[in-house]
Amino acid sequence: MAAGSEATTPVIVAAGAGGEEGEHVKPFKPEKAKEIIMSLQQPAIFCNMVFDWPARHWNAKYLSQVLHGKQIRFRMGMKSMSTVPQFETTCNYVEATLEEFLTWNCDQSSISGPFRDYDHSKFWAYADYKYFVSLFEDKTDIFQDVKWSDFGFPGRNGQESTLWIGSLGAHTPCHLDSYGCNLVFQVQGRKRWHLFPPEDTPFLYPTRIPYEESSVFSKINVVNPDLKRFPQFRKAQRHTVILSPGQVLFVPRHWWHYVESIDPVTVSINSWIELEEDHLARVEEAITRMLVCALKTAENPQNTRAWLNPTEVEETSHAVNCCYLNAAVSAFFDRCRTSEVVEIQALRTDGEHMKKEELNVCNHMEVGQTGSQNLTTGTDKPEAASPFGPDLVPVAQRSEEPPSERGGIFGSDGKDFVDKDGEHFGKLHCAKRQQIMSNSENAIEEQIASNTTTAPSQTFISTDDLLDCLVNPQVTRMVAQLLIQGRSL
């Protein structure tokens, strides 16, 4: 299958039949919308669900008035078609108001403006990951303009949301989110989404550098891939859809996505929805953070910004990371004790289970395998039967060539696309990490100082404990296979 092929496509969750009444009645009640979100295993677009949201009118001009004079950080990227992803660590940043952004975006920037060093014809600007709680800290009433409760999450509004404002070409590198699922409301302009299912993980060449908690990046620029360096990407199943104003995109757990603005100005609002699986994922992320920070800091103590994503602003010391790992493990066990359903399989350690898991992983390492297993989760979930009928309409398979074969979006100014698809999680993790840390930080720091242990459920996890797991022969064998596979390309 060629790179960028679209073997399967997202679906549009459309409104019900037309008519005057249908125009004013939402096609799904909150409980039904939540049922869809919690069961659907592929991306979908909800239509006619936000027509009464006040945030429907949050275009960039309106927001510039609401945030009058407020300085916002913009990420500046090149309008180029390099085969190398433009990671956030390689971009420049500008502090400017939305008014100044809109002036520059109209190509009317003055020589003294904050964007003076960035030719509008060569650069794009992206105000991304703007958390409502920080952006509108003195205007909290505006949180009510976003009503995620319509999707079955009572009380959820702008307080749990993030704002994205970009110019033509602004994009996020291809990545998957370790935690939760994602709801994205497109307010202004259109965004093209390139999505890949979790089972395509081996073909996306995942990396944790640059490091950002909860984000696994791809080494590939999926809109202009280097197929000589990354030949397995040919097997990836690309799902492409354009999100238009008034639509809400649902991105299931662990779906890879690359998101690009294809109109002069785009505004999006998203919210990451926590899932039960996140409790174990937080332990996995804490382990990853501890390892990446230890090794990269040892490699170059004076240059953490070369590998640490700008969204990661917290301290990266070993003591802090050890504290977070212990807190995540403690929170996992606390959840197990209070949850009615505990995923026992996640904790199974019997020899037969380990052998089966090892066999599955070894199969993935063989060059030429299709990678049908899900390396991200370790298990495959059966896809639920569709309960939607006429309100669940498949998107027709695209016959046009993928952007990488057309020369990208800049040759067309985004004008040759018509209809449909909406983003990313430093995400739930910032507030959640603070909550987890606050529950057990003092106790763990005392344990680090005294090197003592407590009851089994509260046992302190030391650096040696972690190393015992990481240098386990089964783990090192998998690492060796991955290294050999990577060097045989």
Quick check: helix, strand or coil at residue 103? helix
Q: Which residue has the tokens 């949301």?
A: 161
Q: What is the distance between the alpha carbons of residues 194 and 256, in angstroms, rounded to a whole number?
A: 8
Element (H, E) at 194: strand 191-196
Q: Is residue 279 a contact partner of residue 332, using CB atoms and an 8 Å limit?
A: yes
The alpha carbon dihedral of 397, 399, 404, 407 has a sign of negative
> What is the per-residue pLDDT across 440-455, written as a single tens digit (0 to 9) for each?
455 445 554 444 444 4
Quick check: helix, strand or coil at residue 140? helix
> What is the per-residue pLDDT across 327-338, written as a single tens digit (0 to 9) for each?
988 888 888 887
> Residue 404 has what pLDDT?
41
Q: If you average pLDDT over residues 27-45, what whole number do you get?
A: 92
pLDDT at 187 over 70: yes
Using CA atoms, how far residue 18 sits from 14, 166, 268, 481, in Å, is: 11, 34, 27, 56
Q: If you average pLDDT over residues 397-403, what whole number do you get?
A: 41
Q: Where are the alpha helices (DSSP H) in 50-128?
A: 60-66, 98-105
pTM for the complete prediction?
A: 0.78
> Residue 372 has what pLDDT?
34
> Residue 334 has what pLDDT?
86
> What is the per-residue pLDDT across 212-238, written as a single tens digit (0 to 9) for each?
988 999 999 999 999 999 999 999 999
Nearest to 60 by CA among 322, 245, 303, 293: 245
> Residue 422 has what pLDDT?
36
Q: If you average pLDDT over residues 261-283, what whole number do you get?
A: 95
